[in-house]
Amino acid sequence: MSDYWRRKYEDAFAQFADACGARAFGLGRHALAILLKALDVNPGDKVGVCAFTCLAVVEAVKVCQAIPVYLDIDEHLCIDPQEILIQDRGSFKAVILQHTFGNPGRLEQNLSACNKIGAKIIEDCAHTLDCEWGSEWNERKLGTFGEGAVHPGGMLTVNSSRLLEKVDRQIERLALPTSAKSELLPAFLRMLYHPFSQSRLDCFLGYNYSRLRGLLRSRGSSFLKSDWPPLPGFSRLSGETKAKAGLKKLENWQKLQQTRLQNTAMIEEHFKDAGLSLCPRQPQAQSPKGANMTLMRYPLRVYKKWEKVHRAGIRGLDIAGWYNSPVHPLTGDDLTKVNYQEGSCPRAEGTIERLIHLPTGPSLNKHKLEEMIRIINGFF
């Protein structure tokens, strides 16, 4: 299968993200595993991970036979810099700095803390989805502060030619090319999903699917297999269909970013009128040369979280409650399989019990937002 469209997508993404180079994979975990190996993460090495993350991040660490070490969060839902500073110098091979929902949190302090303990920096930009290029810090784009970054849809960017060469060597050694199956299934699912995207039916079906998965896990079924897949062949390169879709997203980026910014402003205006708390921001975020954040989701801490999520779900409104645990969607014994000990990150665990979040994308409008606020305030 020709790699023309993948190369075209990689070149366009690298230019757009101000990166030295980019490589497109089938999934974000595929990209992260290759980046970890290119950074010489070996079996037994420790990798710092945000304790408010998803299984995909941890799976990439585990298939490299490294050890994920969970770092508690601050009010921005990002790693608390003090959690890094208390580590011994040389104890971590790398730290994955997650920009949760597009918020870089205390980025400068986290960068400084990683440098002090000698840890290589990887940026997790996956939470920003289609808006990572709109999130900047002191006029630098997120994804350009560390050795490399993982972006939505399996895109990997690196910030030095030397690391790009090492990535390519790892791709040659470990990655598989795309297959017809891996190309056709996502395209088929996108075709089925598109007519319902941004609709109430989409939210209703998504809510009930999540409930079903939660019910199955509560009855004792394990989400994890007993063994991690072998690293050779774990990662797969992106195919033509996905590359073309990625190029289309780049073309539409400016319009989507503007929509998210407008909807974020609308949310904050309505939250103020309703007496609800606003998303905390660093002082630098208020200045023109500080953080220019484009949020993917707008977070809010509430009481009776799942009651509000349920009331929204049956009305087809997108009030979401993930993450369900510090390593979403794992619970119980599955958490111990990925080295997480319950009680080790109390701020993350406490936040998860109360955190909901609203969309900022094209699916949101004033009428839906007003309904959501009535649910949040207990009027339904």
Q: DSSP code of 87?
A: S
Lowest mean pLDDT among 170-179, 212-221, 289-298: 212-221
Lowest mean pLDDT among 14-28, 31-45, 180-194, 353-367: 180-194
DSSP string computed for 300-324: EE-SSHHHHHHHHHHTT---B---S
Instruction: Band the pLDDT of 379: cuts 50, 70, 90.
Output: confident
Q: What is the dihedral sign for C-alpha 285, 49, 221, 188? A: positive
C-alpha angle with apex 347: 30 to 334, nearest 5 degrees? 45
Tell me which amino acid residue 131 is. C
The verdict on whether omega for the bond into residue 329 sits within 30 degrees of 0, i.e. cis, is: yes
88 vs 205, higher pLDDT: 88
341 vs 282, higher pLDDT: 341
Query: For residue 32, what are the CA distances in angstroms to 40, 147, 166, 167, 364?
Result: 13, 12, 14, 11, 31
Spatial distance between the Cα atoms of 103 and 258, rounded to a whole number of angstroms? 17
Query: For residue 121, what are the CA distances in angstroms to 61, 84, 117, 146, 253?
Result: 14, 12, 11, 5, 26
Spatial distance between the Cα atoms of 193 and 154, rounded to a whole number of angstroms? 20
Structure tokens, 82? 């003090």
Instruction: Band the pLDDT of 157: cuts 50, 70, 90.
Output: very high
Q: N- to C-terminal Cα distance for the chain?
A: 54
Token match 């997108």: residue?
318
- DSSP SS3 for 195: helix
Lowest mean pLDDT among 50-54, 70-74, 128-132, 316-320: 128-132
Among residues 140, 375, 376, 131, which one has the least CA distance to residue 263?
A: 131
380 vs 243, higher pLDDT: 243
How confident is the model at residue 247, as a pLDDT? 95
Q: 205 burial class (0-12, 13-18, 19+ CB within 10 angstroms)? A: middle
How confident is the model at residue 226, as a pLDDT? 57
The verdict on whether omega for the bond into residue 323 sits within 30 degrees of 0, i.e. cis, is: yes
Spatial distance between the Cα atoms of 152 and 155, rounded to a whole number of angstroms? 6
Spatial distance between the Cα atoms of 350 and 185, rounded to a whole number of angstroms? 38
Q: DSSP code of 76?
A: T
pLDDT > 80? residue 175: yes
In the chain, the domains with their CATH numbers are 1-223+235-380 (3.40.640.10)
Say what the pTM is: 0.91
Lowest mean pLDDT among 3-12, 195-204, 338-347: 195-204
* Average pLDDT taken over every residue of the chain: 87
CB atoms under 10 Å from CB of 274, counted, come to 12
CB atoms under 10 Å from CB of 55, counted, come to 18
Q: DSSP code of 25?
A: B
Inter-helix orientation angle 305-314/366-376, to 10°? 140
The alpha helices in the chain, defined as continuous H runs, are 4-16, 28-38, 55-63, 81-85, 107-117, 161-174, 180-193, 200-218, 240-274, 305-314, 333-337, 346-354, 366-376
Q: What backbone torsions phi and psi does residue 228 show, to the nearest 5 degrees?
A: -80, 145
